[in-house]
Structure 1
Amino acid sequence: MSIEESSSKGFLGRLEALRGVAALWVAVGHSMIWLVIGSEPAIWSKPLWAVQGIQAHIARATISVFSGAAAVDIFFVLSGFVLARSIFRSNLSVQGYLRFAVRRLFRIIPAFWFSLLVVLFYLLVIYPGHEDFPGASEWFTRWYSDPLSIREWIENATFVSPWLNPNAWTLKVELLASALLPFIVWFLGSRKAVRSIIALLCTVALAWIYRDAPSDLGHYVYMFVVGAILASHGSQLRSAVTESGLFVVGCLLLILAASVCFPLIHPLAADFLVVTGTAGLVWALGFGHSSKILRIFDAQWCRYLGRVSYSFYLLHFIVLYGTGHLVLRILPSAVVIRWPLVIMSFVCFLSVLIAICLAQLSYSWVEKPFTLLGRRFQLKDSTLARTEI
């Protein structure tokens, strides 16, 4: 997520906006699963047509459009594209690799640690204690059931456990993939298609091996490779890919189809659909596709959300949990059980607003200063620092 945007046709701004939209998907997706809906305790674990009840169908359709699982795949493909594009333009060396690694740490760690401080403040100052509320889903009830310990804090701060901030598991994947990406770029070389095919096949095979481990790097590394291949060969596809808006619509439909037809727990087939659609979307945004549909990524609200998206992504869960916990303590159980969709929709709106306000503070006082500090370790040609988002 950039601090300064490129002036070339809003290129980086549009990709940053895409990341903001994906972060919003995660927030809405989480906001629609924290209550039990009728006989459906876990609507995310079934395809759309398998859930029962009107409220459950509406909620499941909502998280099909705002799919947190699809958003994570988008994050990873987008990171692979942006970082690989930068590395391709840089001189790879041991010193350059170390600077790249330090810069990524400055980019990711400070805002994450700030989010943990917010969680710590909530648990120590505001949180009244764990309680099994009638109507709360298992997904919601499982969090913060054990007393906070120093060991737990250290394990979360070092990515051993994501218990305090469940979104942290994606940061661990991001850091490990960032460490591998320069080597992947080196292997891809000077836009040689054969090497790209080999890298893709090997990492897809790795995803198959890790298909039952949806929080491990092996399950996702091919997504970063797809992004890197786009960075390497994307400009060559201009003559082969249509400029029609139908192309963009088709990419979006692939992502939607995966969220409608599969459980939202990263089954391999669903991820393949999402990554295919995302690759087309990132290519369209990254190489100046003329579709009018993409103009939404030029909207001011979308650009703003893109700027604060990383902090927003980190902070929304604890805001959602705190808001939901308060609502469950205030409302009668009968109301919660009868109208879960209405309650979740209200809490979704409120939690998103609060999280955006906190994200602005985190962006201005933590994320931006430390990102700029990390750029002091930039490579000599400074390309990476100008293009990283």
Structure 2
Amino acid sequence: MDSSSSIRHVAALDGIRGWAALAVTFFHGILHFNIGLIERVLYAPVAAMQGGRDLLSKFLLAVFNGDSAVMIFFVLSGYVLSGSLDRTLDRDGRPLINSADFLVKRLARIYPAMFGCMLLYWAIFLLSKGWIVYPAVTFDVFWKSSTLYDITIHGPSWSLLVEVLAAPFVVAFVLLRRKYGFFALVLATCYSMFAIDYPVLVGYLGNLWPYLLAFAVGVGVASPQIKSIRFDAKPWHLSVAIIAFVFARHVVPRSGVSGLIAQTFIGGFVVYFASIVSSGAVYRFLVSKPSLFMGRVSYSFYLINVPILYLVWGVMETYFVQFTIDHKLAAGLGSAIISTAITIPLSVFSERFIERPGIKFGKVITFWSSSPSRQTV
């Protein structure tokens, strides 16, 4: 059994989560009006770029990269969820009951905001009908999307399904480490790497197979064995880790497994250094008020930016058609900026009146747990 494995709340990680959510909006905005960038620029290594325009697009798609953002979300989830479960088990020590408690609260954390987002999606569709082209929302689409039964018109929600499917694996990783030691987690991490080439190892569940490794890495970073390492981390370590995470995978084709694995482990270094560095310009930026604000509303922002982006795109493609054709990059960046301005207040409302009650509801329905201070997961 591990010794006490409590980890403190790390404000810098909230900042990382917030800016990653914002990056997703700009990522989709840039690509929407120029889908040719996907094969020619996004999926190709930087050495294959031809001309300054492609290099600029490559740079922007690296900085505002939705895939990288989701990757860091998953590493952060592994880190935070592992710490939460460890704290509960340190206090209570009933693996079966606490694991069930953990999974129920996880569902209560994920689903309410998704339902709220889809209600907004439906309302915008009804109000915009006849004015702009907008994805059709029917009751069938609503319930399938809200429950994540089928990823229909809310594309980014595939990552929520991965979060749901990964939760039992996170529980298993933590229990294995606590029972058999850190080496058991190393073996589980290897298993996660094998699943990238052999999805059958995770039962072909959703898109879990490329990303289970990210959760395993997050669990590893949160482990007491890693936390006990005495490493004199400098501010520049965090800076280099972030730069490497953002740009390294763009050196190789996106289809390369080596790039996926390397970026996942670099993401682990980002989380590790962010959790122990407490000085420097990057640290100050990550714990600044705007960063912490974005971190607080990041989940709702990540969801709500989708229907709002479609609204902005619909208006632009109806009333500013020529501009979107002649100035694709500017139109994409502009749509992301406008969408962000609209999404932020809606995200504040969702975080306060949907997310928080959902968290409280998760605590209420886990009545079988007698732990006096159950943690948010």
Q: Which runs of 5+ in 2 are unaligned?
A: 1-5
Offset at residue 342 of structure 1 (A): 1.6
Partner of 1:176: 165
1:119–1:165 Cα contact (<8 Å) kept = no
3-state secondary structure, aligned to 1:246:
helix
Cα distance in 2, alignment partners of residues 214 and 337 from structure 1: 39
Cα distance in 2, alignment partners of residues 121 and 167 from structure 1: 19
Cα distance in 1, alignment partners of residues 64 and 195 from structure 2: 28
Cα distance in 2, alignment partners of residues 216 and 52 from structure 1: 32
Q: TM-score, normalised by structure 2?
A: 0.86
Would you say 1:295 and 2:284 are equivalent positions? yes
CA RMSD between the two structures: 2.8
Would you say 1:235 and 2:201 are equivalent positions? no
Q: Flag the 1:259–1:324 CA change in 2: closer, same or farther, 3 A.
A: farther
Q: TM-score, normalised by structure 1?
A: 0.84
1:193-212 counterparts in 2 under 5 A? 193-210=182-199
Q: Deviations over 1:4-36 (max 9, x none)?
A: xx996xx33222222111111111111111112
- The aligned amino acid for 1:228 is V
3-state secondary structure, aligned to 1:358:
helix
Offset at residue 49 of structure 1 (A): 4.4
Partner of 2:330: 342
3-state secondary structure, aligned to 1:219:
coil
- The aligned amino acid for 1:157 is S
Would you say 1:253 and 2:243 are equivalent positions? yes
Offset at residue 51 of structure 1 (A): 4.2
Cα distance in 1, alignment partners of residues 296 and 71 from structure 2: 19
Correspondent of 1:321 among 310, 321, 338: 310
Correspondent of 2:208 among 193, 204, 217: 217
Q: Deviations over 1:262-287 (max 9, x none)?
A: 456x7533322322221112112223
2:165–2:205 Cα contact (<8 Å) kept = no
Offset at residue 164 of structure 1 (A): 2.1
Cα distance in 1, alignment partners of residues 17 and 320 from structure 2: 35
Cα distance in 2, alignment partners of residues 344 and 210 from structure 1: 35
Cα distance in 2, alignment partners of residues 129 and 216 from structure 1: 35
Would you say 1:21 and 2:12 are equivalent positions? no
2:274–2:283 Cα contact (<8 Å) kept = yes
Partner of 2:340: 352
Partner of 1:374: 362
Cα distance in 1, alignment partners of residues 47 and 181 from structure 2: 44
Q: Deviations over 1:87-112 (max 9, x none)?
A: 12222433222221221111110000
Q: Deviations over 1:131-184 (max 9, x none)?
A: 6xxxxxxxxxxx83xx54433333222212211211111001101111222122
Would you say 1:164 and 2:145 are equivalent positions? no
1:251–1:276 Cα contact (<8 Å) kept = no
Cα distance in 1, alignment partners of residues 320 and 30 from structure 2: 18
Offset at residue 186 of structure 1 (A): 0.7
Q: Which runs of 5+ in 1 are unaligned?
A: 1-5, 132-142
3-state secondary structure, aligned to 2:153:
coil
Give the number of aligned pairs.
361
Runs (4+) of structure 1 moved beyond 6 Å? Answer: none
